[in-house]
Structure 1
Amino acid sequence: MLSQSKDRPFILVTSEERSQVLEKINTQNWAKEIYIKLKVNTDFQVKTFYKNPESYIKQLPFNWSKGQKNSFPPFYKTYHVENGVQKNLDNATDVEKKHMELLVKYLQVSLDCGIMYYLTQDEKYAYVASSILYSFTKSAQKSKLSDWHGRGGWLFPNDGFREVRVIGYKVPLIYDFTAPYIKNGGQAFDIIKNKKVFFPVNELQDVCRTYADITVNYGQTGSNHSVLESPNLVYNALAMDDKKEREKLLSYFLTKNTVNQDALNVMAKNYKNKGDIWPETSQYLNHSTAILAKLLLVVNRYNSSLKLGEKYQNILFALPRLDYFVYPNNEIIRWGDGHRRAHVPYEAYENAYVLAKMDSLQELQDEFSPLIKRAMTKGKYHRKNPEALFWYNNDMSKEVAKIELPRTDRVYHAGIVLQRNLSSTNDPKDGLMCFVGGAHMVHGHAEGMNIELYGKGQVLGVDHGRKNYGQDLHENYSRIFAAHNTVIVNGSSKGEGGWVNLGINTVKPIAMEPKVGAEGVSPYHSFSLTSFEDNKGEKAEATQERTLALIRTSPTTGYYVDVFRSKSKLPNEYHDYLYHSIGDMLLFENDDIKLEKAPNRYQVNAKAEWVHNKQYRNPGWHFFKHVKTSKVYDKDVKATFHTKRLAQGGVFMQLHIPGFKNRTFTKVKAPITFEAPKPYDNLPTPTLVIRNEGEAWGNPFVVVFEPFNEKEKPTIRSVSKIEQDGLYKGLKIVSKTPSGVLIQYVITQSKDEIFQGDDIYFEGTFAIITVDENVILKSIYVGDGKNLRYRDHTVQTDSSNSYYKSYSN
């Protein structure tokens, strides 16, 4: 690799660029705001330091009891132990957190002072920055690097992964900004000698080598860990004053892989095609890509001949994808450890734009410039970080992007197939959206074939989410079957193998309409048919199919149809259908359903062996409380989830469940749903469990869901099943909508099956026939099928196997 000899600073910005940066501050309001905020906060720290340097520096978490006379003591080592087992710092004690936070705080003060020295050339800032860095350098070297190569660290012995993310990457940046001061004889304050001393650059170089070594030789590959540790590696590599050593360490980021760290050329394989995304959950996929985009820019600025933007364009194209996985209220669909709400990395958009300009990539410039303008116009993005001063300009086009959300989309690595139908009212509360999915990945959950449902402005049919890693709730509920809207087979569905023994198969699409990127043949209907093999462990051994349909009946109304088929190879099988909804209560509207307390119903595995990240108390339903269950009940059921304490007013989800033999109904209080709207983020989650004794294939679980609010009435008047030879084939659904009564025949079959009724013949997977109250045909929709006949109307589809025709006047 070639690079010219460079004077510091050069990691984030160069001395030659200083006049341009100052020009921005003097002429552009956004730059001036960043500068003033940085100066005010930093001046307060500098003033406090100058009052008493010794007292100020001694706020760092020095462990004086371990120190020797006339020598710097080590820092308190921050590590977390539970039941004699060393664990990472996700669940650290308050004292442990305080030590960690102090180091982070003072290193950030030092970095801010370094930046202010670069901007002002005032040595008072460099003196403070170098004094903090000097004390850190002296004390850090008193510690011994952990020999645990899984996640070992230096100051955090069993969580080096966290150490390099919150501490390690700051040290080289502080040095880079203060190096001109240090190398020109600038001094730092020594709290042991109580005087100014020259800065030991060679010792600082050793500290940076150690942090680079933690990333190169510690940690894990094949996950986002390599990405999250890469800033530490890149910045510490660039902190090396010896050019050959700098280039060698930087090669570990670019091309040289180790057993503990993936290089860029391996990480980039996750972006094989344009539009591919990092294959984890939502907060990790965008965060990982944003980090890589920033590092591509940093290293490309260091050596522009690398042309990293040109070489790794697909990484940059991945950045906007999360914008398309949102509900009408802008919350994110949730899978695995993903969050409901996430910050869109607009800074990463700007980094991608700057890199695209460097490498003359016009398509990428055209992609990101309108997106950045859109975010700024909507008030969602304000430049606020010092990097903006260094890198960004007002050189973008004035075009504002308009994001057109597709009717259907897929998150391929998560097995997700989503459907949406935005209303012509343009009110998010009138939008409809749902998804089905499930797959194994890092930070994925053993969730089976899971769904979420949106209605009246909220995600009502919810995935539980997650909070702190390593806790009983997370390991034995959040990340296994019972926390999801799925089917548990024989009480034994589980994950096995793969990442932390949570491996499951991927949900696979059998049929869907519209196809991803297609318009859709009908403005009112869409559906997906997916399959899943629940065969981990030895006690489920099930094959499953799920039909999920979204049916709009007016600009403000609509419903979902969920048909879940499940059968096991094992004798004495039983299947449990779970549906969680935010809310206050679940009420059955059938007077003759009698529910009795059953506190032990789900407690079989409550005390089973649990080994962190290895063995779990599957399927997790021992967390269910206030369990009340019915005797066998084979009639149609109507039930409603009441959600009355939302800021927007009351919202309801009504369920119509056709009756089948061998069914029992149970309602429980499941644990809270994380990131639910207040106050439901601190309340139990009402949950319905339907048990079917025997196979649930020929007569599957069938539920029609209708959301409505307190100012409306539900539109569905009746739901009855359509059968052939005693087996389920579809539904007759009668609705009273704002525009009139609709009668809809919804046929839901497995692929290429045939239904023969009195008035309907259908060869295919999914179809809807809509008539009015006078039985006058209004429309025919074929989502997937070949032939359909309704009375004297005959439909044969083309090669797409889909069709829609409206007969309205």
Structure 2
Amino acid sequence: MKFKYLTLNIRFIVILILITFKMSSQTKERPFILVTAEERNQVLEKIETQDWAKDIFKELKGKADVQVKSFIKNPKTYLEKLPFNWSEGQKNSFPPFYKTYHVENGVQKNLDNATDAEKKNMELLIKYLQVALDCGMMYYLTQDEKYAYVASSILYAFAKSVQKSQLSDWHGRGGWLFPYDGFREVRVLGYKVPLIYDFTASYLKNGGQAFDIIKNKKVDFPVDELQDVCRTYADITINYGQTGSNHSVLESPSLVYNALAMDDEKERETLLSYFLTENTDNQDGLNVMYKKYKNKGDIWPETSQYLNHSTAILAKLLLVVNKYNPSLELGKKYQNILFALPRLDYFVFPNNEIVRWGDGHRKAHAPYEAYENAFVLAQMDSLPELEDKFAPLIKRAMTKGKYHRKNLEALFWYNNDMSEEVAKIDLPRTDRVYHAGIVLQRNFSSTNDPKDGLMGFVGGAHMVHGHAEGMNIELYGEGQVLGVDHGRNRYGKDLHENYSRLFAAHNTVIVNGSSQGEGGWVNLGINTVQLISMEPKVGEEAVSPFHSFSQTSFEDNKGDKAEAVQERTLALIRTSPTTGYYVDVFRSKSKLPDEYHDYLYHNIGDKLVFETKDLNFKKTPKRYMANANGKWRHNKVYRNPGWHFFKNVKSSQAYDKDVKATFTTKKLSTGSVFMQLHIPGFENREYTKVKAPTTFESPKPYDDLPTPTLVIRNKGEAWKNPFVVVFEPFNENEKATIQSVEKLEENGLYKGLKIISNTPTEKLIQYVITQSKNDIFQDEALGIYFQGTFAVISLNENKSLHSIYIGEGDKLIYKNEIIQTDASKTYYKAY
């Protein structure tokens, strides 16, 4: 009896083991990369019941049906339009595709600057693969095999021909079709191939065929060959490119999708590990990329378009892989990536244009699809803080008409299951972009009109896609970014490499005509601007509604001919709801003999007009041409500092008196605006006005006109008596409010300014004290004593106290008023 039960138990265990083995070894049914077969009914219900989903489906169907109709009419003719290189093909065999590569002066380069002819083949391949992907999605949605037939036929032709090319070994492992730009190949071609296969795999598994243009008939699809193609694209990603930059992020979709295209589960997991945990000399894994997001709110440390794009890609891939294997809980493990997504919305001027640094663009929009991906991922991994963060942001974007669900993933991933709360984005008075060295200040007007807002920033640092810009500023006024950074256009060109990236394209100081970048990414390394003081500090309440300031430092020591230390104080002072001004104090000194320093300021506009009548200008065309024909090697050696691009160069004699000048900008569609400059006089100063290259992404028509630019040269050190400029923006319907600017000195050294303004509401007399940290200014005649960095004493027209502001300081005395600050070292009082 016992033996009988033992036999039955053994038999049961064996059966259980066999069942368990069978279940564990079952392959996942495709599709499963973006969406699963089990989710199809839910997707169809969305199309049936939700207008946004219906619109996405309708647009997809319309595009796909046009292609299907053309294909069915004559499959051979349709497919033969692919860029086949018939001259290199063998009889009765698929020919290779034309390769797309760009060569200049015998040097292989990437495709950023390819000619139209060079781009044609690339665009054709992208178009055909997108048609196949559209048709693959339509097959998933409709189960109509005509779509799968078109998709698989294009995929078949691609797989056959791409393998006819020799895989490039440029930089370790280049592309198949873009021999010198494998990075681009996996980004624009490689990621589409596995998705097409994933959507058509069930058709192929059930005996579906593809059209063969060589045999001129339907044939079975060689899945094994397609697996080789996907395997190779994954391998290109793993073994080509660079680490420590956004390259690893941009190549990751190809890696993930091609890994998931592997039918062998073990191989799939092995390749996927190169996204999750494994690192190579050419590809960072997610565990390494995540180090960029050490703290909640940290952002990808590059320029604006790259930081948001990179983070959005990672958020999407987290969702894709999490859907494939929910037990990974990637949203929970890597949630700081998701918290980074909204940060770019906070680095904007009052007109919503982006603060610009490095190769960053002026205009962009938040990655709202990424917000939705983050929301879905937060739901999956039970992260209520992230759900509560993104749902109101998504609703806000929809309510304002900034976001409409249009991408195809929306059909698969998004639902109408979030709260109706609409987020309000309150931009802080100050903020920082830490990796870019940026310290920004803003002051919105009580009028709530963007043209009345004020904002400026100081910044500069080295990063991938960064510029050798020194300690740079941008200034805003009258609804426009007026004091501008040049920006960038096409990579690799003379203008980009020898101007846009260099000191001369920025509002900075060039030392000894030799400031430059050195080392680091493409030899553009500079030091990071360091914060000395600011008020208000980031995240803290401002002590004054009208004042703020920052003081920063920079070491200009790349190369061996500048060797300078610098300090910059930028203050923002509002004088009424519609008026205000900026004070810029830039100190610079070199340890080298015969030093000289040039202060640069670029302002969009028609011209720069000097109102100082005895300041005479003569043409000086050779002034900035010393390095015009210097060595230039792409991404290695530059014609620093880049000011040989200045045109119409006119310079003054040595001039030590005060100077007043105005940038006029009269061609804007919104009306004329002006930026007036008050420049206190010092010895050993020369003034130059030039036409700098066009500032990219300026408002029309200034996006196609030269940029008026001021250069002030100081012979000798510029520390004890620094560059000092007061900037006031105003428009055609207003007058400039500043009546006079007079420097404050002690023992012949600059200490601050006396500024008199006639505002729309009152007359103000303001003593603006701008010193290095912990310095002391004492003027018995004025009755002023101040120990500290920055302070503003404002008087009414009758010279009674209006207000006192201390941005940072220990003690201030004004006549009978004695102020000793507390531990915050800040103070404000209105009288």
Could you state the TM-score of these two structures normalised by the residue count of structure 1? 0.99
Distance in 2, Cα, partners of 1:4 & 1:576: 71
**C-alpha offsets along residues 234-266 of structure 1, whole Å, 9 cap, x if unaligned?**
000000000000000000000000000000000
Note if 1:692 corresponds to 2:718: no
Q: Which residue of 780, 783, 787 corresponds with 1:763?
A: 787
Q: Does 1:777 align with 2:797?
A: no
Deviation string 1:724-751 (CA, Å, 9 cap, x unpaired) is 0001000000000011110100000000
Equivalent residue, structure 2, for 1:298 = 320
Report the 3-state secondary structure (helix = DSSP H, G, I; strand = E; otherwise coil) of the residue aligned with 1:181: helix
Alignment check: 8 A CA contact 1:151 1:220 kept: no
Are 2:153 and 1:110 aligned?
no
Residue of structure 2 aligned with 1:478, choices 474, 495, 500 = 500
Give CA-to-partner distance per residue, 1:344-395, whole Å, 9 cap, x none.
1000000000000000000000010000000000000000011000000000
The aligned counterpart of 2:759 is 737
Q: CA deviation at 1:343?
A: 2.5
For residues 765-798 of structure 1, what are the alpha-carbon distances to aligned partners after superposition, in whole Å with 9 as ceiling and x for unaligned? 0000000111010000000000000111111111
* Residue number among 562, 565, 568 corresponding to 2:584 in the alignment: 562
- Unaligned 5+ segments in structure 1 are none
- Within-5 A mapping of 1:543-554: 543-554=565-576
> For residues 47 and 254 of structure 1, what CA distance do their matches in structure 2 show?
42
**Structure 1 equivalent of residue 193 of structure 2:** 171
Task: Give the direction of change, closer, same or farther, for the CA distance of 1:39–1:693 in structure 2 (3 Å limit).
Answer: same
**Counterpart for residue 817 of structure 2:** 793
CA distance in 2, matches of 1:116, 1:555: 56
Within-5 A mapping of 1:417-428: 417-428=439-450
- SS of residue in 2 equivalent to 1:73: coil
Matches within 5 A, 1:588-627: 588-627=610-649
> Pick from 573, 577, 600: which aligns with 1:578?
600
CA contact (8 A) 2:353 2:363 kept: yes
Give the Å deviation of 1:50: 1.2
Distance 1:234 1:455 in 2: 46
Aligned-partner Cα distance in 2 for 1:309–1:566: 47
C-alpha contact 2:360 2:487 (8 A) present in aligned 1: yes
1:6 corresponds to 2:24: no
Alignment pair present for 1:127 and 2:127: no
- Which residue number corresponds to residue 395 of structure 2? 373
> Could you tell me whether the CA contact under 8 Å between 2:792 and 2:805 is conserved in 1?
yes
Question: Which residue identity does 1:637 align to in structure 2?
Answer: V
Counterparts in 2 of 1:115 and 1:500: CA distance versus 1, 3 Å: same
CA contact (8 A) 1:3 1:303 kept: no
Deviation at 1:5, TM superposition (A): 3.1
Q: Deviations over 1:709-736 (max 9, x none)?
A: 1111000000010000001000000000
Contact in 1 for aligned 2:173/2:239 (Cα 8 Å): no
* Partner secondary structure for residue 270 of structure 2: helix
- Using a 3 Å threshold, how does the CA distance of structure 1 residues 307 and 4 change in structure 2: closer, same or farther? farther
Whole-Å separation in 1 of the counterparts to 2:707 and 2:78: 48
- For residues 187 and 537 of structure 1, what CA distance do their matches in structure 2 show? 64
Pick the aligned partner of 1:268 from 273, 290, 311. Answer: 290
8 A Cα contact 2:582 2:726, kept in partner: yes
1:225 maps to what in 2? 247
Alpha-carbon displacement from aligned partner over 1:677-727 (angstroms, at most 9, x marks no partner): 111011000000000000000000000000001111000000010000001
Q: CA contact under 8 A between 1:416 and 1:437: conserved in structure 2? A: yes
After TM superposition, the structure 1 = structure 2 runs for residues 614-653 of structure 1, keeping only pairs within 5 Å, are 614-653=636-675
Whether 1:404 and 2:426 are equivalent positions in the alignment is: yes
Deviation (angstroms), 1:144 = 1.1
User: Partners of 1:59 and 1:342 in 2: how far apart?
Assistant: 36
Moved more, 400-409 or 58-67: 58-67
Deviation at 1:151, TM superposition (A): 7.0
RMSD (Å), alpha carbons: 0.8
- Map of 1:530 onto structure 2: 552
Once the two structures are superposed, the pairs formed by residues 712-751 of structure 1 within 5 Å of their partners are 712-751=734-773
Aligned residue in 1 for 2:202 = 180
Work out whether 1:804 is the aligned partner of 2:828.
yes
- SS in structure 2 at match of 1:318: helix
* Correspondence for 1:465 among 487, 509, 513: 487
Residues 172 and 239, structure 2, Cα contact 8 Å, conserved in 1: no
CA distance in 2, matches of 1:763, 1:126: 78
Deviation at 1:148, TM superposition (A): 1.4
SS class of match (1:425): coil
Q: For residues 3 and 359 of structure 1, do their structure 2 counterparts lie closer, same or farther at Cα, with a shift above 3 Å needed?
A: farther
Q: Distance in 2 between matches of 1:100 and 1:366?
A: 42
Deviation at 1:56, TM superposition (A): 1.0
2:527 alignment partner in structure 1:
505
- SS at the partner of 2:170? coil
Note if 1:518 corresponds to 2:540.
yes
> Deviations along 1:145-165, whole A, 9 cap, x unmatched?
111136721110000111111
Tell me, what secondary structure is at the counterpart of 1:553? strand
* Inter-CA distance 469–150: structure 2 relative to 1 (3 Å threshold): farther
Amino acid at match of 1:771: L
CA–CA distance in structure 2, aligned partners of residues 333 and 24 of structure 1: 39
Kept in 2: contact 1:114–1:125 (CA 8 A): yes
| 4+ runs deviating over 6 angstroms | none
Q: Which amino acid is the alignment partner of residue 479 of structure 2?
A: G
Task: State the 1:3 CA deviation.
Answer: 9.7
Q: Tell me the distance in 1 between the aligned counterparts of 2:692 and 2:213.
A: 55
Unpaired segments ≥5 residues, structure 2: 1-23
Distance 1:392 1:712 in 2: 50
Residue 50 of structure 2 corresponds to 28
Q: Write the distance in 2 (CA, Å) between the matches of 1:429 and 1:54.
A: 60
Conservation of the 8 A alpha-carbon contact between 2:664 and 2:674: yes
For 1:681, the aligned partner's letter is D
Q: Distance in 2 between matches of 1:64 and 1:805?
A: 82
Using the alignment, how far apart are the partners of 2:168 and 2:699 within structure 1?
42
Matched residues in 1 for 2:388 and 2:431: separation? 23
Tell me if 1:215 matches 2:237. yes
- Cα deviation digits, residues 546-584 of structure 1 (max 9, x gap): 000000000000000000000000000000000001001
Q: Is 1:41 aligned with 2:63?
A: yes
1:201 is matched with 223
| 8 Å Cα contact 1:440-1:503 kept in structure 2 | yes
**Structure index of larger Rg:** 2
Residue-by-residue CA offset, 1:406-433 (whole Å, 9 max, x unaligned):
0000000000000000111000000000
Contact 1:150 1:220 in 2 (8 A): no
Separation (CA, whole Å) in 2 of partners of 1:662 and 1:418: 32
Counterpart-to-counterpart distance in 1, 2:754 and 2:173: 57
**1:353 has 2:375 as partner:** yes
Q: In the alignment, residue 133 of structure 1 is paired with which amino acid? A: L
What residue is the counterpart of 2:9 in the other structure? Answer: none
Q: Is the 8 A contact 2:292 2:299 kept in 1?
A: yes
Q: Tell me which amino acid in the other structure corresponds to 2:512.
A: N
| Paired residues, number | 806
For 1:149 and 1:119, locate their aligned partners in 2 and report how far apart those are by CA, in whole Å: 41
